[in-house]
Chain A
């Protein structure tokens, strides 16, 4: 597959939320003074009556959204992954997940994508934190087209959803007419030797790694596990049955993220080994995105090496 130069997935969120808001007056955006960077500016312009800006007060923003949801609104609390997953985590638990309210937490700046911002702005623990809360659905789309589709799917689904977007451009992977279902992995390629499971901004890396592996003679299945909760158990069971090992690749700490979610299932089902490629339980820093990934072994070579070790 020839990967075309792409766009940040936060841009896709910005487009999707306007389309949703125009179609449904109950769609609200709750901003926390980073609407400009999270791409809600067009929403504010076109739909001011469906917009609230609580200022730099994320915990309150989450609570306001919960109150709106009890009155039939579908609020998207919009901020960065670091703040949306940690500053307001207990508010999400108490006022959104426990009462199972229809609130969406929409976060840009996922993983290492805000590379030069440094560690304070790199949300590398978010998916794992949110995954542990009952009633929460957790989604990390990989490109522009899938983000638009999954934001819309989140709006149609009743219940709490956490969505993670990229600050920086990621390649286009899907066509605009591709369909996506929450909780259902996408198989980009089928194969017999190894299964690569990835999501978010590093899925494109896996597309390239697969090509490399095929050249080396491996038959590679590639899954886009855009929803890490609920995880697509069936897709993992098939991978165990049909291929000889699983390598997960994520722009997230290897603790409790995609690799852990996949391993949860593999540990129960048995029959295959897993290698987790991800952030090695350490903080990032201000550096180019590729450098940050490389420091954690999240590279084409790293993936090839893991596959060789796993299946020979």
Chain B
């Protein structure tokens, strides 16, 4: 088989996984009647590529010392992370129906002590990237070849600690760290431009010293290419991929609507959302 048909098969496989992620995200938020769909859906394509292609992980051995790490710095979108972990078999798929319920491993924000596959607990914005930097420094110092991937929100980048962490990643030449920015232009109260303009985030990360690229965060091909182009590259700088995305991507009435940041669909909305996602097949 030719390389290009292999590549095409991979793209359609990952596209299908992204669809399964979106269905799972909506199902768990609908069951819980609580959670954050908008930013989960905007990150679904990136997460599909990471969890079904890029990350060196072993669901049977979540504590494997040489595994790649993933840090969900914007912890509120844990439905997309839980969907990845469920579909990769870290826990039984049915567990998704316990999201936000008492005693569940699927807490309202990720809890590393309860949920296998969660590398660090998050939920307070601005902090996850620092922990990713710590993991990447440990990897370098220990001579291990794992990498650390971190997903940051565009609104989240208003936190000063994000930039403290980037400085540290640049100082320690962490080319084993890959920062994804989910640049969906919306945050909790309104658009980023209205709440607090972030400016051109790619330029900012570049200026801080990251090896930076910009992609369409809903093009599986572009995400795969971006990751292909940095894998194994020793540039002595952290990588930053600013992914332009649409908050709520895949569900027409959620797309670009601030209110869907942290709201659960009712039965009718859920049915329509699933139909749209499945219909796109």
Residues of A within 8 A of B (CB): 49-50, 52, 54-55, 57, 59-73, 75, 90-91, 94-95, 98-100
Q: Are A64 and B120 in contact (CB under 8 A)?
A: no
A55 vs B170: C-alpha distance in the bound complex, in angstroms? 13
Judged by a CB distance under 8 angstroms, whether B269 is at the interface is no
A-B CB contact pairs (8 Å), 17 listed: A50-B141, A52-B172, A57-B164, A63-B127, A63-B161, A64-B165, A66-B130, A70-B112, A71-B139, A71-B142, A72-B138, A90-B124, A95-B127, A95-B130, A95-B131, A98-B111, A99-B121
Q: How far apart sit A69 and B126, CA to CA, in the bound complex (Å)?
A: 19
User: Are the C-beta atoms of B167 and A68 separated by less than 8 Å?
Assistant: no
Question: Quick one: CB contact mask for B81-114 with A, threshold 8 Å, 1 for yes?
Answer: 0000000000000000000000000000001110
Q: How far is the CA of A212 from the CA of B126 in the complex (A)?
A: 54
B178 within 8 A of A: no
| Chain A residues within 8 Å of B138, by CB | 67-68, 71-73
Q: Is B119 an interface residue (CB 8 A)?
A: yes
Which DSSP category, helix, strand, loop or mixed, fits chain B's interface?
A: helix
Closest Cβ of chain B to A226, distance in Å, is: 29
B137 at interface, CB cutoff 8 A = yes
Q: Are A59 and B161 in contact (CB under 8 A)?
A: yes
Within 8 Å CB of B129, what residues of A? 63
Q: Please tell me the number of chain B residues within 8 Å of chain A, measured between CB atoms.
A: 36
9 shortest interchain CB distances as A-B pairs: A67-B134, A63-B130, A60-B164, A71-B138, A57-B164, A67-B131, A64-B134, A68-B134, A67-B135
Query: Across the interface, do A60 and B120 meet the contact criterion of CB distance under 8 Å?
Result: no
Given contacts A60-B130, A60-B161, A66-B130, contact A95 B135 (CB under 8 A): no
Contact with A along B133-155 (1 / 0, CB 8 A): 11111110110000000000000
Residue of A52, A57, A70, A91 touching B120 (CB-CB under 8 A):
A70
Whether A52 touches B137, Cβ cut-off 8 Å, given contacts A57-B168, A60-B161, A70-B131, is yes
Residues on B with beta carbons closer than 8 Å to the beta carbon of A57? 161, 164, 167-168
Query: Does B209 lie at the interface of the complex (its beta carbon under 8 Å from any beta carbon of A)?
Result: no
Write out the residue numbers on chain A whose beta carbons fall within 8 Å of the beta carbon of B71.
67
Q: Which of B121, B139, B142, B172 has the most C-beta atoms of chain A within 10 angstroms of its own C-beta?
A: B121
